Amino acid sequence: MRPQTATRPDGSNLVSQPRLRTVVVLAAGEGKRMKSALPKVLHPMLGRTLLGHVLAAAGPLAADRTLVVVGHGADQVTAHLAGISPDAEPVLQAEQRGTGHAVRTALESVPESAGTVVVLNGDVPLLRPETVTGLVAAHESAGAAATVLAAEVADPTGLGRIVRGRDGRLEQIVEERDASPAQRAVREINAGIYAFDAALLRNALGKLSSDNDQGEEYLTDVFGLLVAAGETVAVHLAPDAVETLGCNDRVELAALRRLLRDRVNEGWMRTGVTLLDPATTWIDVTVTLDRDAVVDQNSQLQGLTTVGAGATVGPDTTLVDTTVGAGATVLRTHAVGAEIGPEASVGPYAYLRPEATLRRKAKVGTFVEVKNSEIGEAAKVPHLSYVGDATIGARANIGAATIFVNYDGVSKNRTVVGEAAFIGCDTSLVAPVEVGAGAYTAAGSAITADVPPGALGVTRAQQRNIEGWVLRRRAGTRSAEAAERAAREAGGASEGEALHGPSVAGGSDPAAGDTATE
């Protein structure tokens, strides 16, 4: 409840009794033209369902009760409500007999409700909160029995018309199927959003008839009943007709999604965010971006993703529930539930799975997958590696083709790589295992035991060369021809010595020449 104010003759404010508000959202329809097993109001659009967008638009009203009329797919809609708006109360309309019947069903569940009743359709996702609050403010300040939100549209086909009298006042709202040719020419349409005096609405709902083309109880007929009873009814014009658009099929849904994308993108650009190609950039309404962030083309920012100041995301990047720190660069990457620290670098072609955490200036490069792991400050995993269930210390370097072997077929195990450690290329770290600070592993090793700080871990066999093997075992092949040609071109040794002399090669240090990439 919120107190209402009036002005005394001396100019001071007088606080009146608080006004009650009840919001009713109509979400019981099947949406047959969507041709979907999913109820229409649950179809997603940039971070929320259609129903979620409508509830968000009504949020600033701070209603005392929010009732959502459910019918088709009631269990699914009710479960969704519990997740996104636990205070909203589902009301079952077991038999859909029209919008008037739906509102009457809702109000019967709260017989004590009074004050203002706000009715919203569940499929108008572009509706702005300020439009809803403007409608209710106009209704309450005028002391009207009912107020309808209207819009001027170029093509009113399929929509209910606002029919005014010669004095410009509302006479009735006529559904298109029941409208005369003259009424169908009217371009002022009913947006399906209303504010009512609760007591007068209850009385009028009891008088509704189903004597119409659809055989349903139309909520819009309440306006005609109130006019006939001499009550004040009002029309509040929406500032932008686009926000009153609903959808009946997937084509219309896609059109609304594009409109919302453009609205969201324009809003971010006006706050100081650079979108290099807004037409291919999709940002959920739940995403947050700081000033001077840059989003390149073909990128999708979803869920609770946040992008810090001066960070660059994209092109060709999808971030879901991911945090990107200030000054970071994320290029051609797919990330879900990840944390990318300030000035970190990711991609191209990287995959960050849930609980992947990169500290400041960390690097995850090309064709690297990270899951449930922490990459320490300025540590590098440059390319072609899998990092799972690991902790990598600051300034460590992970060579190409390194695999953190974290799963033994039953449980996941953890690997720890210490500060400034150096993991050679093509190393398998078999968890649970720890490589100490400043330690090295030789390229091609399978590390199954801890490597102490500053030590070198080596598990590969010493190299042995079998001279002449190709000519003996692969005679007549391209390899043999190349070997013979190389022998002829070699100076000093005879052809027979070069191709047939047995020898064993390998230095005394089995790790000689080991390197890792950066």
Q: Does the domain made of 20-244 have the CATH classification 3.40.50.1110?
A: no
Tell me the three-class secondary structure of 436-497, residue by residue.
CCCCEECCCCEECCCECCCCEECCCCCCCCCCCHHHHHCCCCHHHHHHHHHHHHCCCCCHHH
Rg, the chain, Cα only = 34
Strand 146-152 relative to strand 188-197, pairing: antiparallel
Residues annotated within a binding site: 26-29, 40, 93, 98-99, 123, 160, 175, 190, 248, 353, 371, 386, 397, 400, 406-407, 443, 460
Residue 433 contacts residue 501 (beta carbons within 8 Å): no
> Parallel, antiparallel, or unpaired: how do β-strands 403-405 and 428-430 relate?
parallel
Annotated binding site for UDP-N-acetyl-alpha-D-glucosamine: 26-29, 40, 93, 98-99, 160, 175, 190, 248, 353, 371, 386, 397
pLDDT at 5: 46
What are residue 369's DSSP bridge partners? 351, 386
C-beta separation of 417 from 381 below 8 A: no
Query: Residues comprising the binding site for acetyl-CoA?
Result: 400, 406-407, 443, 460
Q: Indicate if 383 belongs to the active site.
A: yes
Select which of 72, 334, 383, 500 is catalytic. Answer: 383
Distances in Å between the Cα of 494 and the Cα atoms of 143, 464, 475, 499, 500 are: 110, 22, 19, 9, 10
- Contact yes or no for 336/349 (Cβ under 8 A): no
CA angle 163, 168, 173 (to 5 degrees): 20
Cβ neighbour number for residue 180 with a 10 Å cutoff: 10
* Half-sphere exposure of residue 125: CA atoms within 13 angstroms, side-chain side: 30
pTM: 0.88
Query: Cis link prior to 348 (omega < 30° from 0)?
Result: yes
- Let me know the angle formed at the C-alpha of 425 by 419 and 426, rounded to the nearest 5 degrees: 115
What is the model's pLDDT at position 43?
97
CATH of domain 283-457: 2.160.10.10
What is the Cα–Cα distance from 451 to 46, expressed in whole angstroms? 48
- List every span in the chain annotated with CATH 3.90.550.10: 20-244
Neighbours of 169 (CB within 10 A): 12
**Helix (H) or strand (E) run with residue 324 in it:** strand 323-324
Q: Phi/psi at 330 (nearest 5 deg)?
A: -130, 110
Instruction: Please report, in range form, the residues annotated as the binding site for Mg(2+).
Output: 123, 248
- The confidence score (pLDDT) of residue 456 equals 98
The reported pLDDT for the residue numbered 28 is 95
Angle subtended at Cα 259 by Cα 37 and Cα 283, rounded to the nearest 5 degrees: 80
Is the link from the previous residue into 315 a cis peptide, with omega within 30 of 0? yes
- DSSP class per residue in 197-233: EHHHHHHHHTT----STT-S--TTHHHHHHHHTT--E
Q: Residue 454 has which token pair? A: 């500053």
Q: For 56, which DSSP code?
A: H
Element (H, E) at 387: strand 380-388
Q: Which of 308, 301, 305 is nearest to 326 (CA)?
A: 308
What are the angstrom distances between the C-alpha of 149 and each of 146, 194, 232, 337, 409?
10, 6, 15, 40, 61
Per-residue pLDDT of the chain (518 residues; tens, 9 = 90+): 444 444 433 444 434 445 799 999 999 988 899 999 999 999 999 999 999 999 999 999 999 999 999 999 999 999 999 999 999 999 999 988 999 999 999 999 999 889 999 999 999 999 999 999 999 999 999 999 999 999 999 999 888 999 998 888 898 889 888 899 999 999 999 999 999 999 999 999 999 988 777 778 989 999 999 999 999 999 999 999 999 999 999 999 999 999 999 999 999 999 999 999 999 999 999 999 999 999 999 999 999 999 999 999 999 999 999 999 999 999 999 999 999 999 999 999 999 999 999 999 999 999 999 999 999 999 999 999 999 999 999 999 999 999 999 999 999 999 999 999 999 999 999 999 999 999 999 999 999 999 999 999 999 888 899 999 999 999 999 999 999 999 999 854 444 454 454 444 444 455 544 566 67
The Cα–Cα gap between 172 and 229 comes to 13
- Whole-angstrom Cα distance, residue 283 to residue 295? 10
Cα gap 505→417, rounded to integer Å: 32
Label residues 419-444 b or e (16+ Cβ within 10 Å = b). Answer: bbbbbbbbbbbbbebbbbbbbbbbbb
For 348-365, the DSSP string reads SSEEE-TT-EE-TT-EEE
Please identify which residue in the block is written with the tokens 């006004």. 19
Segments of the chain assigned to CATH 2.160.10.10: 283-457
E strand intervals along 62-131: 65-70, 89-92, 116-121
